[in-house]
């Protein structure tokens, strides 16, 4: 029997950052990733959407393409089926410690989890520093307005390889 999946109502991304006063200030500087609470872990995601780009592994290196999962909303950079994503998209990856440390690296260089796990601070545009979810877009660090297309109907991903500096 086939399943029916609902398209989620996309939530307001700002809602994640509206109660930062209840969170330990600069927790990301005081804790390792493995010590963070679920809430802290979730707050680290900057909402860039770049982990939802399709990628190719060529000669041991990850090459990003400017095609994205068909369930990504390219305007908001949010998943449209977040609650069902692992059922609907078998190769959708949970962002856990294994994913962050996987070699070859497939998360973008700007990914907060990867940065912190590699001894770096969050960038100044990160929503945890600005208090605004939109700051990732304003800094040009998300997928917004970068010519990303949905994977639907695309066969030859090699034609879509990109070399953005923030990947």
Provide the minimum distance between the beta carbon of 95 and ligand SF4 in the complex, in angstroms, as a whole number: 4
- 104 to 11, 88, 107, 125: CA distances (angstroms): 32, 25, 9, 26
The DSSP 8-state label assigned to residue 67 in this structure reads E
167 contacts ligand SF4 (rule: CB under 6 A)? no
- 8 to 12, 33, 79, 128: CA distances (angstroms): 12, 28, 9, 25
51 contacts ligand SF4 (rule: CB under 6 A)? yes
Give the CA count within 13 Å in the CB-facing half-sphere of 109: 6
Residue 48, both tokens: 């860039």
85 contacts ligand SF4 (rule: CB under 6 A)? yes
Using the contact rule CB under 6 A, the part of the chain among 25-33, 46-54, 56-64, 127-135 near ligand SF4 is 46-54
Of the candidate residues 43, 47, 76, 167, the single one contacting ligand SF4 (CB under 6 A): 47
53 contacts ligand SF4 (rule: CB under 6 A)? no
Q: How far apart are the C-alpha atoms of 80 and 102, rounded to whole Å?
A: 26
Provide the minimum distance between the beta carbon of 64 and ligand SF4 in the complex, in angstroms, as a whole number: 11
Cα torsion angle, 41, 10, 107, 140, sign: negative
Q: How far apart are the C-alpha atoms of 27 and 59, rounded to whole Å?
A: 38
Of the candidate residues 33, 36, 43, 69, the single one contacting ligand SF4 (CB under 6 A): 69
Of the candidate residues 33, 36, 74, 79, the single one contacting ligand SF4 (CB under 6 A): 79
The footprint of ligand SF4 on residues 114-153 (CB under 6 A) is none
72 contacts ligand SF4 (rule: CB under 6 A)? yes
65 contacts 160 by C-beta, under 8 angstroms: yes
Give 6 or 59: the residue with its C-beta nearer to ligand SF4: 6
Binding site for ligand SF4 (CB under 6 A): 45-52, 69, 71-72, 79, 81, 85, 89, 92, 95, 107-108, 111-113
């Amino acid at each position: 029997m086939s399943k029916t999946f609902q398209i989620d109502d996309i939530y307001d991304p700002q809602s994640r950052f509206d109660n930062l006063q209840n969170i330990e200030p600069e927790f990301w500087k005081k804790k390792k990733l493995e010590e963070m609470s679920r809430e802290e872990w979730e707050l680290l995601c900057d909402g860039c959407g770049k982990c939802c780009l399709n990628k190719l592994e060529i000669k041991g290196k990850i090459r990003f393409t400017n095609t994205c999962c068909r369930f990504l909303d390219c305007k908001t950079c949010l998943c449209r089926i977040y609650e069902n994503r692992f059922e609907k998209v078998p190769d959708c990856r949970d962002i856990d410690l294994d994913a962050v440390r996987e070699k070859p690296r497939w998360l973008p260089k700007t990914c907060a989890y990867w940065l912190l796990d590699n001894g770096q601070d969050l960038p100044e545009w990160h929503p945890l520093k600005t208090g605004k979810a939109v700051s990732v877009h304003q800094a040009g660090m998300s997928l917004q307005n970068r010519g990303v297309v949905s994977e639907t109907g695309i066969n030859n991903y090699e034609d879509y390889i990109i070399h953005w500096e923030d990947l």
